[in-house]
Amino acid sequence: MPLTSQISVYDPRWPDLFLSEQQRIRSVFANALVTIHHVGSTAVPGLAAKPEIDLLVEVSEHRDVGDVTERMKSLGYVRGTDLSQDHHFYRRDVNGVRTHKVHVCPSGHWQIARMLRFRDLLRQDPDLSARYQALKLHLEATNQHGIGEYLASKAPFIDAVLAHKRERD
């Protein structure tokens, strides 16, 4: 079963696509907005990725979730299932192809530190980035049940990297 999109070589346009989308969605979160981070594999120069821009929206608190969902809908986003408590998720597809994912978490949410730490480790360590890329390509090639299987199969690698980093700190 295919993933939401096929993994491709790094595209140097991804940072600009992030900046463009960051500007487009900024006003949706109004006064609750703290910052918007570029996360996921498209945020790591040189790393092959599904060409889906991941944005992590940090808010002071979730406010007017129904209004936020409507404003995101007006920008082409669909609200997905929460990925964990207080971790809201939106996705945008263009012509049936996933182009953007937006994670919305309040300040202090454990996923913010997790996503930023893993992104930064990949940016700092070319060997780690190469190992992660090889894993992702292997998982894509052997995937039989879609994106859920792919994400679940990546999780132990990410968990181990972050646990090892905590031990060294």
Cα–Cα distance for residue pair 137/135, rounded to 1 Å = 6
DSSP letter string, 40-61: SGGGSTT--B-S-EEEEEEESS
For 76-120, the pLDDT digits (tens) are: 999 998 889 999 999 999 998 899 999 999 999 999 999 999 999
For 14-27, the pLDDT digits (tens) are: 999 999 999 999 99
Helix (H) or strand (E) holding 69: helix 65-74
- CATH number for the segment(s) 14-168: 3.30.460.10
Q: Give me the pLDDT at residue 1, please.
A: 55
Q: Where are the domains of the chain?
A: 14-168
Q: Give me the pLDDT at residue 71, please.
A: 97
The answer to whether the beta carbons of residues 45 and 10 sit under 8 Å apart is yes
